[in-house]
Structure 1
Amino acid sequence: MGQLAVKQQTQEQQATTLSIIDTVDLEAVQSTLSKINQFQMVIQNTLKREHDFGVIPGTGKPTLLKPGAEKIHMLFGVTSEYEVTEKIQDYDKGFFAFTIRCMIYKDGNKITEGVGHCNTKERKYIKQDAYTLANTCLKMAKKRAQIDATLTLASLSEIFTQDIEDIKEFTQTENIETMTLKMQHKLN
């Protein structure tokens, strides 16, 4: 009896899948894919390198930056709202963490959302005073959520990534620290 029910459920799922495929307007899909491709080309040709997006040596894709995400929002005529979904503010231990949800709306209708997280135990923040970083982490989580939502909104995940700028900042910090140590050794 159990095997028969599973077999029947599987057949129903396949029938539902087929009926969804049968209802797809292939011309409309082709038109939409063409528009997405054209929009991606406009974005690539319009956004400014090192301002709207950054290219990190050794990575496959450039990373979308906050100014670029804001321009894309303007192009689409969308608005964004933010919600703190997780907040840890441990003043005794100096640990702060925020998870933010960015919801993007067009004419009052929710189009998509993104999520971003940041905390004071991230590698780039470890050597800094956690108490002065609470607001920085909040803003970074918000930015990450905005970029996550924007990549989905504009179908840009195949040409941009996110959070690579964090690696760049970390690498720059490490390079500066390494150069400083080398300079100190040469002076001694």
Structure 2
Amino acid sequence: MSEGNLTVLTQSSGGNAGGGAIVDLEFGSATDLRKKLDGMKQKLNLTKEFFREVMQEGVDYGIIPGTDKPALFKAGAEGLCEFYNLAPTIPPGGKVEDKNHETGYYSVDITIRLIHRMSGSIIAEGVGHANTYESRYRWRWVSERDLPKGIDPRGLVSKERDGKYGKFVQYRIENDDMHSIWNTVLKMAKKRALVDAVLSATRSSGIFAQTQEELDAYLSGHDPDGDPEGNPVPPPPRQNRQQGAGNRNQGSTGSRAASGQGATSDKNRALELSKQMNGGNMDWNWLAERASEALGRQIQKVVQEVQANEWRTVVQYLEQYGTGPEDDTDFNFEDLPEDLR
């Protein structure tokens, strides 16, 4: 076997028991492979540095409720696209929809292709699916007082929650207006496809396969498994890393909180998200239900009962409950060459 080659034995098409062909697969010289390896290492180190110095927890990535590992958000995926000079596109045939106007069922599969802006090369593709039968879209959780008339709560799925004034029960009912969330479902599929493509293009899937503690250690320059002597290395306080991560957006959460404006901005963001998720109308009961789920206690009057330091938690929950960060806008293809749009 020559340098850089892999010799394999393949089964012949004639199906003879001992038959086969010797095939040499050319992978390049050892020098070429070494250059490629060094280049991959440098890119991974740059990605790590980008995460540490630019990306913000809770904005670009964070813990999705119900999981214990960080996930890349749409805002973070877009930041990585900007960093690597990649443009998201939907290729021909990359959008497949299934609509039922009578029942309100809607499903969509999206393929996002990442194009390198300078060369026009295809770097990666990602796929995303969403449909109205997902639990977040198909069902609503309401208190007994908010149940539609004529519905017997004894036949409904229920769950008990701990609230500020004790335990309370919520009931699951079917969303009776599926058509109004078709656009939200479409945007969710796009977001999932974009994140899938970016994770593949930047080789950062491994970063988000770690726990929060491992990610903190990794981004802080420590080995999550310990130091060379085998001793655990605790990560530095997470707030220190966050304070240094606001370079991309000086008006973001960290600096606003330091000036006492963070709570007000988070509150405004929560109200904005609530309005977006309800077709442009402010539904205070809906927001109270989401705040109750996010904070684990019964919220009836959102403005009065949600504390200033709790609005960030409500915002994070709303961002993952529905459209996600900045998900009210589509991808911008205007700066792409005409043949790549």
Taking structure 1 as the reference length, what is the TM-score of the superposition?
0.75
- Number of residues of Structure 1 aligned to a counterpart in Structure 2: 164
Structure with bigger helix share is 1
SS in 1 for 2:208: coil
Deviations 1:97-130 (A, max 9, x none): 1111101111322211111010000011112321
Quote the residue 1:146 is aligned against: 194
Q: Distance in 2 between matches of 1:58 and 1:98?
A: 24
Is 1:34 paired with 2:46?
no
- Per-residue CA shift, 1:121-156, capped at 9, x if unaligned? 001111232111100000000111111111111111
| Pairing partner for 1:176 from 266, 276, 293 | 293
Matches within 5 A, 1:23-172: 23-24=29-30, 25-45=32-52, 46-56=54-64, 59=67, 61-83=69-91, 84-106=94-116, 107-127=119-139, 128=175, 129-160=177-208
Unaligned runs of 5+ in 2: 1-13, 140-174, 210-288, 300-341
CA distance in 1, matches of 2:65, 2:179: 33
Q: Per the alignment, in what secondary structure is the counterpart of residue 39 of structure 1?
A: helix
What does the per-residue CA deviation read over 1:46-84, in whole Å, with 9 as the maximum and x for residues that have no partner? 210000001347856411001111111111112111254
- 2: CA distance between counterparts of 1:152 and 1:134? 27
When normalised by structure 2's length, the TM-score is: 0.43
Q: Distance in 2 between matches of 1:159 and 1:105?
A: 23
User: Which letter does structure 1 place at the counterpart of 2:15?
Assistant: G
Identity, % of aligned pairs? 28
Q: 3-state DSSP class of the match of 1:101?
A: strand
| Equivalent residue, structure 1, for 2:331 | none
Contact 1:88 1:96 in 2 (8 A): yes
After TM superposition, where is structure 1 displaced by more than 6 Å over at least 4 residues in a row? none
C-alpha contact 1:61 1:159 (8 A) present in aligned 2: no
Stretch moving more, 31-40 or 89-98 = 31-40
What is the distance in 2 between the residues matched to 1:7 and 1:173?
Answer: 66
The structure having more radius of gyration, on CA atoms, is 2
In the alignment, is the contact (CA less than 8 A) between 1:151 and 1:160 conserved in 2?
A: no
**How far is 1:42 from its partner?**
1.2
Gaps of 5+ in 1: 162-171, 182-188
Residue aligned with 2:133, SS: coil
**What RMSD over aligned residues (CA atoms) do the two structures have, in Å?**
2.8
Residues 57/87 of structure 1: CA separation in 2 closer, same or farther (3 Å cut) = closer
CA–CA distance in structure 2, aligned partners of residues 7 and 23 of structure 1: 30
- SS of 2:89 mapped into structure 1: strand
Partner secondary structure for residue 49 of structure 2: helix
